[in-house]
A and B are shown apart, each in its own frame.
Chain A
Amino acid sequence: MIICQLAGFLGSGKTTLLVRLGKELGGAGKRVAVIVNEVGEVGVDGAVIDAYGLRSVELTEGCICCSLSGSLQNTLRIISKEFKPDIVLIEPTGLALPSKINAIVRTSMVEVERNVSVALVDAFRAEKLFKDTKAFFSRQIAGVDAIAINKVDLVTPEQLKEIEGMVKELNPKPPIVHLSAKTGQGFGELVKALGVM
């Protein structure tokens, strides 16, 4: 079982990417399970994911990287045993720290073939987020296998270059993919970088 975490700040396009990736994987004959997390009791993302024909387990009222870490581990164990997926897509809240989720997955006592994660960066808001929430932003892109600068259709090539520079300053290690989860631009490259197909 592969576990693939789609992380990133609020509004960075995680759900849009999840729907695209889930459909693509399902279309390729993979057995896909989806775990979606919302900070509030009443969620929105789970309903959106269901509306696009993907069924999800929604963990609400907390964050799976901290207060709901036990729920995430239990859910992974249940899914692994009862559904036997090829891949589990995890969409954490936009406030989660991916490296903490990776650690929680590692100690969840499920057999994991690979655990991969991507952090989405909203190209349109990157500069503002970098300025206003740099420390948090930095932790949200730490410890991931790939960084996807999303919504590239909303910025100029010059702006994109600047954003890439900011991201590399904070985390120079992972490959950076230019993505529009909405239009599909760069999607193939991201899938390749994550090795999930």
Chain B
Amino acid sequence: MEEEDSKELANAGSYGARAHFEAKGRLTGDDLGKIVGANLLEMARDVSARGGMVGHLKAFVRLPEGFLKVNVVDQELGADISGTAGASLVNSGTMNVMVVAIGIDDCQAKEVLESGLKGLDGRVRILKLEDGHDEGAEHKMISLG
């Protein structure tokens, strides 16, 4: 019996990438959160324009000063932004971004993400964009308590 694939069942497309960036000019953590939020909302509009439905657009920004997490699941709801970077000035960092949507394929999800990231250009310079594994991500371990 052929194994069922849940991503196919849901008719979903996805793409994730890691962007290394540096700030252009003065930029705080709060500013960056708003910029990334606006950027993910722009990607959400792109998904809709392609006839898809937003599944989850999310970003995690790792900075020396803290972190930001930004989520968009519905355009009407806007971007949910949280984290610890706050008023700290941002010089550089890395940002993991993922687009998952229903009714578009992986190639379209990649286009949405890459075209969306170009929208950051005014305030942030993307130095490198990767879509490979985080070094050691799979088997780093675990603890609590």
Contacts and interface: CB of A to CB of B under 8 A. Distances in A.
Interface string B77-108: 10000011000000000001110101000000
Contact of B102 (A26, A60, A100, A133): A133
Contacts of B132: 41-42
Given A43-B98, A60-B137, A63-B7, A34 B142 contact: yes
A44 B96 contact: yes
Nearest to A58: B137
Interface residues of A, number: 60
Contacts of B142: 33-34, 55-57, 79, 83, 85
Given A30-B145, A48-B60, A55-B141, A42 B16 contact: yes
Most chain B CB within 10 A, of A51, A54, A55, A63, is at: A51
A22 B69 CA distance: 18
A59 B138 contact: yes
A107 interface: no
A51 B17 contact: no
Interface residues of B, number: 48
B15 A51 contact: no
B129 to A, nearest CB: 10
Given A11-B73, A55-B144, A57-B138, A41 B131 contact: yes
27 contacts: A9-B55, A10-B100, A23-B144, A25-B145, A30-B144, A30-B145, A31-B145, A40-B16, A42-B131, A43-B137, A44-B98, A47-B67, A47-B96, A51-B69, A55-B142, A57-B139, A58-B134, A58-B137, A58-B138, A59-B138, A60-B133, A63-B6, A63-B7, A66-B6, A95-B100, A122-B73, A132-B53
Interface of A: 9-11, 22-23, 25-34, 38-48, 51, 53-61, 63, 65-67, 79, 82-83, 85-86, 93-97, 100, 122, 124-125, 128, 132-133, 136, 139, 154
Given A27-B145, A83-B142, A85-B142, 15 more contacts: A28-B145, A33-B144, A39-B100, A40-B100, A41-B16, A42-B132, A51-B67, A57-B138, A58-B138, A66-B3, A79-B142, A93-B6, A94-B100, A95-B100, A125-B73
Interface of B: 3-7, 9-10, 12, 14-18, 53-56, 58-60, 62, 67, 69, 71, 73-74, 77, 83-84, 96-98, 100, 102, 130-134, 137-145
